[in-house]
Amino acid sequence: MAWALEVTGMNGVGSKDRRVISPYAQVVPDDSYTFIGVSHPSLTTALTQIGVILEVRNMTTIPNNSAGRAAVFTIGAGETHRIFVVNVGHSTINLSNASFTDSLSHLIFTQNTAQFGNISAMSVNQHPLNATTVRGVRKYANLSQLSMWGVVFIPASSTGFAMEFVGDAQDSTVSYPSSRNRLRPESGLTSGAGRGVN
């Protein structure tokens, strides 16, 4: 899917139904980093490609601009993308390590100091509740079609804590008449755009 303009980060605008947040992330030199996974589980209601902008907030990144704070990618059906938020001087997770330079891995570097912030993700699609009909089935390119998870990881002890992603900040709901069949996607009558992140 080709986008009309280059996207390098979030500009803070956009409807709340395009955005999910995780309230806490951290990176501490020689102590911890943040890992986020985004999967496209190929739901019946999902388009095969979905554009995502994932941004760290309240951290000083390298470079410290919208492009340096964000990972922008298109995730295809069945794919999982890995996003690492690490100090720029991390000894293992860096651009010299081939394990982190493939098209499914994204590194967001912070300064070599303790950094604490949060994560915001947004769909590239500016109208996430508008469906595209494919072979009679309504399909969506929004974050509720994806699975997102994350962890603040402490390698020295192989411990950490899970990140929660809070979706659909406006708590939108797609309503249907009671006569509409929501369980037969082959009829083109799916349950809709969904709410939040699966």
Structure tokens belonging to residue 54: 């994932």
The pLDDT tens digits of the residues spanning 111-140 come to 999 999 999 999 999 888 899 999 999 999
Domain ranges of the chain: 18-167
The mean pLDDT value of the chain amounts to 84
pTM as predicted: 0.81
Q: How far apart are CA 123 and CA 145, in angstroms?
A: 10
pLDDT band at 17 (very low <50, low <70, confident <90, very high): confident
Q: What is the mean pLDDT of residues 131-158?
A: 94
Q: What is the dihedral of CA 82, 192, 135, 20, to 10 degrees?
A: -20
Residue 18, pLDDT > 70, answer yes
E strand segments, 28-181 = 33-39, 49-57, 70-76, 80-87, 105-110, 115-123, 132-134, 137-139, 147-154, 159-163, 166-167
Out of 140-144, 146-150, 173-177, least confident range: 173-177
pLDDT value of position 192: 55
